Amino acid sequence: MKKVLISVSNKEGLLEFAKGLVDLGYEIISTGGTAAYLSRENILVTQVSTITGFPEILDGRVKTLHPKIHGGILARRTEEHLATLAEHSIPTIDLVVVNLYPFGETIKKPHVSFEDAIENIDIGGPTLIRAAAKNHRYTGVVVSPEAYPEILGQLKDQGELTADFKRKLALEAFRHTSNYDAVISAYLAGVWEEKGFPREFNLHGELVGELRYGENPHQRAAWYQAAGNLADSGFKQIQGPELSFNNLVDVQAAQQLVREFAEPAAAVIKHTNPCGTAIGENLTAAYLKAYQADSLSAYGGIVALNREVDVETAAEMIGTFYEAIIAPGYSREALKIFATKARLRVLSTAFKNEAKQYDIKRVLNGFLLQEQDLDSDVGQAWQWVLGQKSSLKDLIFAWKVVKHVKSNAIVIAKNGETLGVGAGQMNRVGAAEIALKQAGEKAKGAVLASDAFFPFRDTVDLAAQYGVKVIIQPGGSVRDGETITACKEHGINLVFTGKRHFKH
């Protein structure tokens, strides 16, 4: 009689699967809660302790860690190994069905204690899975209920699993335990406030779904949720077609920008750059200012807001074609308005503070890690090089926005609204030309923010032609003296932040 060891936390589809195995002549070996669950359904189960001759101990921490279990899983079906099993009365185990304590779900519960988290670290389960996966030539291993139907189908049709299918199951098993360990290590790194970069860093994720295509139609793409991401963003798609690769990239950019502001804020994003950003007394005012900043570019963009969308704001937004809207929530009336546009993607997110994470970029068959570009002390360490403190609110606003514009980046702003944005240019004065031309007459009395220092005075001279009142930039160039001189000549106030915000 063939034997299957079953020990699962997720019991989805288990009854039908277990009954199917019994009908095929399998003896079920099980432990603890799984054994009790199957027994209640009148499915005959052999307790692990019956085979090992040793009881579960340490509050169930030790159950399957025994030679009579792992010997049966790891044995090759060779004459020598089978003789060793016979000598020690160890039965062969042909199939291992295990999924793990729900550590990831446990740590997402509000106010979960460290002790509860630790108790939900599975030890025996990963050991069983890895043993079976290592010996996949002889022992099948199952970590997901999704595989149950195909397993029963193959066993009914041919009496055993194919070699290719066993290899597929083994690969899935190793990925499963690897991801499980990644969640645990990420949790512990956060709890113990790990400083510096770890000696080893692994990227792990769980598939959310395949996308229609990547940045371009000829590129395949998929979306993964990062393992160990403890920040529950509350992300939800309320309506609209599936999200594309580019949608998701732009949604991320839009969300990060409006999170900068405590005031009601709105941002319209195209190709990860803000074409319009604004703050206002209320959400409707903020949205209208953001839209009017560049209504031409707004078409087909992504809109992010940092407040629940009310009916007034929704009514203003519905007249423009947008790919997606993301906000912390929506009133019923707002959702009714958006429902009239079936192709509009409406997304919600809790906008909670994220757990410590790194920015990651792939390079040269590897990847780079860096801390996120956080600037919690905006305005506190700024140096007023020329002029008295003025336009402080607009300076803070523009400095927060320029951080989210691709380098070289220039932002013109006034009254909590972007008037012009120059993004991703190969030289800084080129970015300034684009931003100032877009702002036009509105640039008079406005502030100009630059994500990095001016290598030459040409940007100052250009800004003066448009009537810019204050310039804010990091400083630190060997030609800062030229910049200061130019600002004096044109009567422009100058602020050095001492902090650069390149975005590549």
- Least confident span in 67-71, 233-237, 359-363: 233-237
Which residue has better confidence, 330 or 187? 330
Closest CA to 91 of 26, 43, 155, 136: 26
Predicted confidence at residue 283, as pLDDT, reads: 97
Q: What is the mean pLDDT of residues 401-406?
A: 94
Residue 444's pLDDT band (boundaries 50, 70, 90)?
Answer: very high
What are the strands of the beta sheet with 27-30, ordered from one edge? 46-47, 27-30, 3-7, 95-98, 140-142
Residue with the two structure tokens 């800084």: 428
Share of the chain above pLDDT 90, in %: 66
pLDDT of residue 96: 95
pLDDT surpassing 90 at residue 361? no
Quick one: which of 248, 293, 284 has its CA closest to 397?
A: 293
| Phi, psi for residue 71 in degrees, rounded to 5 | -65, -40
User: Which residue in the block uniquely carries the two structure tokens 């839009």?
Assistant: 254
pLDDT at 354: 54
At residue 361, what are phi and psi to the nearest 5 degrees? -140, 130
Which one is predicted more confidently, 91 or 110?
A: 91
Q: Provide Rg for the chain, Cα atoms.
A: 30
> How far is it, in rounded angstroms, from Cα 292 to Cα 420?
11
Report pLDDT for 381: 83
Domains and their CATH numbers in the chain: 3-191 (3.40.50.1380), 234-348 (3.40.140.20), 380-496 (3.40.140.20)
Residue 225 CA to residue 39 CA, distance in Å, equals 36
Contacts of 398 (CB under 8 A, 6+ apart): 411, 412, 413, 418, 447, 448, 449, 472
Phi-psi group of 196: left, alpha or beta (phi > 0 → left; psi -120 to 50 → alpha; rest → beta): left
Whether the pLDDT of residue 220 is over 80: the answer is yes
Q: What percent of the chain has pLDDT over 70?
A: 97
How far is the C-alpha of 122 from the C-alpha of 211, rounded, in Å? 33
Check residue 489 and give its pLDDT. 95
What is the rounded average pLDDT for all residues in the chain? 90
Residue 437 has pLDDT above 70, yes or no: yes
Output the pLDDT for position 208. 85
150-177 pLDDT per residue, tens? 999 999 998 899 999 999 999 999 999 9
pLDDT at 174: 93
What confidence score (pLDDT) does residue 329 get? 93
How open is the CA angle 71-75-80, to the nearest 5 degrees? 115
pLDDT at residue 232, rounded to an integer = 53
pLDDT at 353 over 70: no
Which one-letter amino acid corresponds to residue 2? K
197-218: average pLDDT? 85
* Residues found in the chain: 504
Cβ neighbours, 10 Å, residue 485: 13
Look up residue 120 and give its amino acid: N
| 59 has a pLDDT exceeding 90 | no
Report whether 219 contacts 252 (CB < 8 A).
no
Paired sense of beta strands 301-305 and 265-270, if any: antiparallel
Of 456, 445, 451, 438, nearest to 499 (Cα)? 451
- Cα–Cα distance, 26 to 20 (Å, whole number): 9
Joined tokens for residue 385: 């090089």
* Residues forming the active site: 134, 271
Quote the CA–CA distance of 481 and 476 in Å, as a whole number.
10
- Residue 231's pLDDT band (boundaries 50, 70, 90)? very low
Please report the pLDDT score of residue 227 as a whole number: 61
- Range among 34-43, 113-122, 275-284 rated most confident: 275-284
Strands (E), 122-259: 140-142, 205-211, 221-226, 236-239
Given a cut of 50, is residue 230 above it in pLDDT?
Answer: no
Instruction: Specify the pairing of strand 493-496 against strand 383-386.
Output: antiparallel
Per-residue pLDDT, averaged over 259-273, amounts to 94
Residue 291, beta-bridge partner list:
none
Mean pLDDT for the stretch of residues 271-293: 95
* pLDDT over 60 (residue 233): no
Spatial distance between the Cα atoms of 411 and 306, rounded to a whole number of angstroms: 21
Question: SS3 for 363-375, per residue?
Answer: ECCEEEEEECCCC
Q: What residue type is 267 in one-letter code?
A: A
**Rounded CA gap, 21 and 4, in Å?**
8
- Measured in degrees and rounded to the nearest 5, phi and psi for residue 367 equal -155, 160
CB 276 within 8 A of CB 254: no
Residue 349 has pLDDT above 90, yes or no: no
Amino acid 351: pLDDT: 58
> What is the pLDDT confidence band of residue 331, given thresholds at 50, 70 and 90?
very high
pLDDT(496) > 90? yes
Which residue would you say has higher pLDDT here, 208 or 288?
288
In the β-sheet with 493-496, what is the strand arrangement from edge to edge?
Answer: 383-386, 493-496, 470-473, 447-450, 410-413, 418-422
Report pTM: 0.79
